[in-house]
Structure 1
Amino acid sequence: MTIPAASPTAPIRTVGTAVAASEGPAMHITGPMHERFGEILTPAAVAFLTELHHRFGGRRHDRLADRMRRRFEIGNGHDPRFRDDTRHIRDDADWRVAGAGPGLEDRRVEITGPTDPKMTINALNSGANVWLADQEDATSPTWRNVIGGQLTLRDAIRGRLTHTGDDGRAYRVTAGRTPTIVMRPRGWHLSEKHLAFTDRTGRRLDASGSLVDFGLYFFHNAQALIDAGRGPYFYLAKIESSEEAKLWNDVFTFSEEYFGIPRGTVRATVLIETLPAAFEMEEILFELREHCAGLNAGRWDYIFSIIKNYRGRGARFVLPDRSEVTMTVPFMRAYTELLVQTCHKRGAYAIGGMSAFIPNRRDPEATARAIERVAADKKREAGDGFDGTWVAHPDLIPTARAEFDAVLGDRPNQLGRERAEVQVQAEDLLDVHIGRPITSEGVRDNVSVAIRYIEAWLRGIGAVAIDNLMEDAATAEISRSQVWQWIQQGQITAEGTPITVEHVEGLIGDELAGSTRFAGDRFDDAAEVFREVALRPEFPAFLTLPAYARFLRETD
């Protein structure tokens, strides 16, 4: 199916009217049309995607090229610094961001999760203030998940979502007031291989996962959300620069104009989860100021970004076992303190991250440990000035809420705490010295977690409980990138074992031999992906890129 774009000079059409032209850019649906997919991939919706790609696809590729250049510079010894050319933005004390939109005034507890029907209903019934509807790291981007997630959200927003599990259990939304939905589209680096865009020169390119996720959600739900007294709200993932933030801002402005929605209706919360973005927090807020609600401390991807950017810079940049890289180590402490200070200086909410510990209803001791650790994590965040936080499980909401209630009371936020005493320098953000060893258990755990997560991801499951921790693409990235770095930097465990390709191959064999196999499992494919992204000399920027291209593309 092919939908041509409107002529760049043609008038913009309204909702429900297909945009058509005889020539020019066009979008092609190359994936199969499963049941109900036609409700999402309507001619008018696909025409809107075509316009987004026509107007913003080239700039997206420019921004991705900037990322590659920046990683090359850091890898060659040029540490990131606060930008001189944008100092005037940081020095101007007068500007502020748009702030909370309707339904985002109190964000003290946000629950995160994928957009399948069961998890959506559980999130909407959870009692959280906000639900991060995740089409990114918690979703394996199969074609069925991408469009199925859009169907789920469309049904949920209209109050008609139900689900019956394989065991016959019925799920429905029973909460009187459901959390405000903030949808997270895929990052700029991810493509959608089931849609292809032909540009004005005749080149045929994979569609942008970001523009597809945003565009379909906005097209189908923006007005319904506004009518319900809330609005189209988004979490923006993997941003690395203020130029990338400006690109999103322009997408928002164009989309509002396209549908005749008042400018500034969209609200975005940016995840600061890459090292380059930590040096441009104020600039990111500035470029998005018409549409910005706040920043989030995306801890797991931030750790991955540190490893990725400094993977070849020598032993002093090598991190210890994943479990030792906590929120209190120097570089993580500096990053979160700077985030809170920056947000409150500009009227933006500062949202904390997700502790990976989750309860296990079959294991009371594991549950008690999880609650204790989550309580300590949220107490620290609330005390540091964060306005809210993430949890990954409904059972953790009372724990997180209690810690924020103790600090916030009846106030919806802590914007009055500007943390003027915080003085974070560039070297503080790069202080990765932790002084803990790499252990044999840490190496084995990384191999095991990465393979088990990738196996589930290949089956279409993007968020997985493993050993009482919630694992998603970000935590799997830490695991595989640490293994890669340890090998390339010739590290030796505290027990005296050299971390080599051969040693890790042995651990892969142990993992496969010890796994409980079942019909349809993907352990062999997962091991193959892990070898590609952790054992070869080349370092893929994201493990999901080769895995998606090879294993998740669906054809008729």
Structure 2
Amino acid sequence: MSKAAATTIADGVAVKGALKPGYERVLTPEALAFVAELERNFGERRRELLAARAERQKKFDAGELPDFLPETKSIREGDWKVAPIPKDLLDRRVEITGPVDNRKMVINALNSGAQSYMTDFEDAAAPTWDNMIGGQLNMMAYWDKEIGFTDETNGKRYDVVAKPATLIVRPRGWHLEEAHVEIDGQAMSGSLFDFGLYFFHNAKRQIASGSGPYFYLPKMESHKEARLWNDVFVHAQKKLGIPNGTIKVTVLIETLPAAFEMHEILYELKDHIVGLNCGRWDYIFSYIKRLGKNPNFILPDRAQVVMGDAFLNAYSLLLVKTCHERGAFAMGGMAAQIPVKGDEAANEAAFNKVRADKEREANNGHDGTWVAHPDLVKVAMEIFGKLEGPNQLARQRQDVNVGQKELLQPHKGERTEHGMRECCRVGVQYIEAWIGGRGAVPLYNLMEDAATAEISRTQIWQWIYHGATLSDGRKVTPELFRDVLEDEMKSLRETLGETRWNEGHFEQAIGLFSEMTTARECEEFLTLPAYRLILENETRP
């Protein structure tokens, strides 16, 4: 972070990030007063809910298992529906995702042919100050119809097509802070910062254009966290004179505790919610983290934890059944494959994996699905384009009977040295890119975000914690992990070359990955200590 003195733009608001030309359009006194009011009204509740997560984790560590809440049984069994879904969100058969900070990627996603586009301040964007404010500027430019630009490197012009994808924005999760802005001496919530600025600057233009302020909400663990978001929305709409219920959200069910509270989350947000989404990679990470110390739930190699089996299949089916019962969309998960250039056979194999994945989702009853690359839109639409209508809300799936046992059933498979090596390779390279400011990272023909690194480090952490046995009979120890990591990093350094290695953040990434993987306690998020590295690097000349 800049060592320069913080700038006070609104009462009690200190901006510690650099105020570069153009940033004043985002960071107006009025906008900062708006987000400061959100922080003052809701910041303490956010911190209390995060503390409640930690207390609940102590119970899980002691052997208690997640289960449906007895105190909310009446909501699960009640007869109610969510509010009607706006016209431009009724067809979401294919959604593309990507970082908000890269203007070319934003335009390409809007023009991709997908029905909707989730642009991301969260896991696909590293939260550098420039990325976060640059993302807000991109959003303002889009709603001002001024986002088009000419690429100076090749003279190519980028403009948004006449009928682009419906735009949905994902702010950061409740656990993340925006260290560059302090409210009354305390760093503010990244969630409230991202949501507040985007809503303040763009909501009225969105409504005037026939769309609206639409959001994806990540990483929630309980209906009480959903209630907090709902209270934020009620306050924000009232403050700007916008009718209650204008904000529409889709909630990612990407934590294990949230899977047991899907009805309750829909209920708390029923005036504002249009659906739930299977955030599958983060869900695997959450499963490992929440059940990590329980020897009955040790997972095999990541590659064997697939959507058609065990707890992942149960969660997908229950999400569809729950959403459709309440008149809400059930969105499928991410196809992370990206085109394999120069290898037609490998490219077709990757696309066939996407087709099989999307066939399973469509057959389960999902209303739409995610892809990470424009070239995959057409492939996913091959499957979801066969639906009888723009969604499958009429498919009730009353045949699905999923309980606690099914939601917790671990995947079967082997734990291998190859799996450890893959975790080390992918985990370190992703963290290195993230520290350097890139959140959407192509690695080994997949578009990875922060969830992949989280799975990589927690998977090995769990194996070490329990002294798990590999398929060749060896016990996983800190020493074995360090030997594998050192060997993989030596190979990676040779592959990348000294210049790329020395110009990057590899030593920081290796240190963080190793420290978190061998720690006695499983850290909540690697993005928290990694964010501190981003801030430290900003102070370096």
Answer yes or no: same fold by TM over 0.5: yes
CA deviation profile, 1:409-445 (whole Å, cap 9, x unmatched):
3x1211111101111111110111x331101110100
Pick aligned residue for 1:422 from 400, 407, 410 = 400
For 2:232, the equivalent position in structure 1 comes to: 251
Q: How far apart, CA to CA, are the structure 2 residues paired with 1:28 and 1:362? A: 50
Pick aligned residue for 1:512 from 486, 489, 497 = 489
Give the secondary structure class of the aligned counterpart of 2:336. coil
Pick aligned residue for 1:288 from 269, 277, 294 = 269
Give the secondary structure class of the aligned counterpart of 2:117. strand
Q: How far apart, CA to CA, are the structure 1 residues paired with 2:423 and 2:283? A: 17
For 1:108, the equivalent position in structure 2 comes to: 93
For 1:146, the equivalent position in structure 2 comes to: 132
CA deviation profile, 1:291-349 (whole Å, cap 9, x unmatched):
001000100000000000111111x2110110000001211111010000000000000
CA deviation profile, 1:233-286 (whole Å, cap 9, x unmatched):
000000100000010011111111011011110001000000110000000000
Q: How far apart, CA to CA, are the structure 2 residues paired with 1:529 and 1:494? A: 27
> TM-score scaled by structure 1?
0.92
Instruction: For residue 82 of structure 1, report the CA deviation from its aligned partner.
Output: 0.7
Q: How far apart, CA to CA, are the structure 2 residues paired with 1:507 and 1:166? A: 43
Structure with more of its chain in helix, by fraction: 2
Structure 1 portions without partners, runs of 5+: 6-25, 199-203
For 1:318, the equivalent position in structure 2 comes to: 298
Equivalent pair of 1:463/1:471 in contact (CA under 8 Å): yes
Instruction: For residue 536 of structure 1, report the CA deviation from its aligned partner.
Output: 2.0
The equivalences for 1:50-65 within 5 A come to 50-65=36-51
Percent pairwise identity: 48
Q: How far apart, CA to CA, are the structure 2 residues paired with 1:102 and 1:152? A: 25
The equivalences for 1:80-479 within 5 A come to 80-93=66-79, 95-115=80-100, 116-165=102-151, 167-198=153-184, 204-314=185-295, 316-406=296-386, 408-409=387-388, 411-432=389-410, 434-479=411-456
> TM-score scaled by structure 2?
0.95
The equivalences for 1:522-537 within 5 A come to 522-537=505-520
Equivalent pair of 2:128/2:534 in contact (CA under 8 Å): no
For 2:462, the equivalent position in structure 1 comes to: 485
Give the residue type in structure 1 aligned to 2:287.
I
Q: How far apart, CA to CA, are the structure 2 residues paired with 1:446 and 1:167? A: 36
Give the residue type in structure 1 aligned to 2:511.
E
Q: How far apart, CA to CA, are the structure 2 residues paired with 1:547 and 1:428? A: 34
Instruction: For residue 56 of structure 1, report the CA deviation from its aligned partner.
Output: 0.5
Instruction: For residue 101 of structure 1, report the CA deviation from its aligned partner.
Output: 1.9
Instruction: For residue 476 of structure 1, report the CA deviation from its aligned partner.
Output: 1.1
Instruction: For residue 100 of structure 1, report the CA deviation from its aligned partner.
Output: 2.0
Equivalent pair of 2:181/2:188 in contact (CA under 8 Å): yes
Equivalent pair of 1:487/1:500 in contact (CA under 8 Å): yes
CA deviation profile, 1:86-132 (whole Å, cap 9, x unmatched):
11111111x11124224111000000000111110110110110000
Q: How far apart, CA to CA, are the structure 1 residues paired with 2:342 and 2:237? A: 48
Equivalent pairs, count: 526
For 1:15, the equivalent position in structure 2 comes to: none
Give the secondary structure class of the aligned counterpart of 1:270. strand
| Structure 1 vs Structure 2 CA RMSD | 1.4
For 1:11, the equivalent position in structure 2 comes to: none
For 2:530, the equivalent position in structure 1 comes to: 547
Q: How far apart, CA to CA, are the structure 1 residues paired with 2:145 and 2:331? A: 28
Instruction: For residue 531 of structure 1, report the CA deviation from its aligned partner.
Output: 1.4
Equivalent pair of 1:139/1:461 in contact (CA under 8 Å): yes
Q: How far apart, CA to CA, are the structure 1 residues paired with 2:130 and 2:490? A: 31
Equivalent pair of 1:30/1:555 in contact (CA under 8 Å): no
Q: How far apart, CA to CA, are the structure 1 residues paired with 2:346 and 2:437? A: 27
Equivalent pair of 2:436/2:534 in contact (CA under 8 Å): no
Give the secondary structure class of the aligned counterpart of 2:369. strand
Give the secondary structure class of the aligned counterpart of 1:552. helix
Structure 2 portions without partners, runs of 5+: 1-6
Pick aligned residue for 1:538 from 513, 521, 534 = 521
Stretch of structure 1 that moved more, 542-551 or 265-274: 542-551
Q: How far apart, CA to CA, are the structure 1 residues paired with 2:21 and 2:526? A: 30
Give the residue type in structure 2 aligned to 1:261.
I
CA deviation profile, 1:450-476 (whole Å, cap 9, x unmatched):
001111111111011111112110111
Residue 525 and residue 169 in structure 1: after superposition, are their counterparts in 2 closer, same or farther (change >3 A)? farther
For 1:10, the equivalent position in structure 2 comes to: none
Equivalent pair of 1:99/1:294 in contact (CA under 8 Å): no
Q: How far apart, CA to CA, are the structure 2 residues paired with 1:82 and 1:154? A: 41
Q: How far apart, CA to CA, are the structure 1 residues paired with 2:485 and 2:156? A: 39
